[in-house]
């Protein structure tokens, strides 16, 4: 499954990342930021994937502007 990482600029397109790469990166960091273009279904699948591997996963929306569309997803994955 591919997910879109949060944009670093409003004008750029989001980069994609595979679940396997996220799992590899867990050794270095535990917080990931995902773009609003990800479907809620895909993010729920991400949560279930890591919960089945005995990780604790917490997801929330982070607003960065006044518009309702100005948000990203913050996902904490800890063991």
12-38 pLDDT, tens digit each: 999 999 999 999 999 999 999 999 999
Work out how many domains the chain is built from and give that number.
1
Cβ contacts of residue 50 below 8 Å, gap of 6+?
57, 77
Structure tokens that stand for 66 in this block:
């006044």
Angle at 30 between CA 24 and CA 36, to 5 degrees: 95
pLDDT reported for residue 14: 94
Which domain range does residue 53 map to?
2-78
Which pTM was predicted? 0.90
Contact 14, 59 (CB under 8 A): no
pLDDT above 90 covers a percentage of the chain that reads 85
């Amino acid at each position: 499954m591919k997910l879109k990482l949060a944009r670093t600029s409003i004008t750029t397109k989001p980069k994609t990342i595979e679940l396997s790469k996220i799992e590899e990166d867990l050794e270095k960091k535990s917080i990931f930021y995902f773009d609003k273009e990800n479907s809620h279904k895909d993010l729920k699948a991400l949560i279930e994937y890591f919960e089945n591997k005995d990780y604790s996963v917490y997801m929330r929306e982070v607003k960065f502007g006044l518009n309702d569309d100005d948000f990203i997803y913050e996902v904490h994955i800890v063991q």
